[in-house]
Amino acid sequence: MIQLSCSEGMSLHLNGRSVVRLRRAAGTRIQCRAGLLWVSEYQRADDSVLRAGQALTVGSDCDVVLSGLPDAQVALVSQPAGHLELCP
């Protein structure tokens, strides 16, 4: 597990259908900067697909899985400033 502070924001490139799990992601703003991004929140009935320029803010403190479809450039900002755990 990798624990990161992303109060200023961080960027990830998800390629080749790679997957990242965010733990305790409440308040994290997820923005798709390029490509297509699949977002799945644990115990939520529906998943989201974000296109370049679209964003969402995680409302629950559940884990979130991100994956490029097949590739995506992603920006993450934790609100309020805090730690975000990435599990490859």
pTM of the model: 0.80
| Cis-peptide, bond into residue 70, ω within 30° of zero | yes
Over 70: is that where the pLDDT of 61 sits?
A: yes
* CA atoms of 85 and 33, how far apart (whole Å): 21
Rounded to 5 degrees, φ, ψ at 29 are -90, 125
pLDDT digits (tens, 9 = 90+) for 7-46: 557 888 988 778 888 888 888 899 999 999 999 988 888 8
| Cis-peptide, bond into residue 80, ω within 30° of zero | yes
Q: Which helix (H) or strand (E) holds 67?
A: strand 64-78
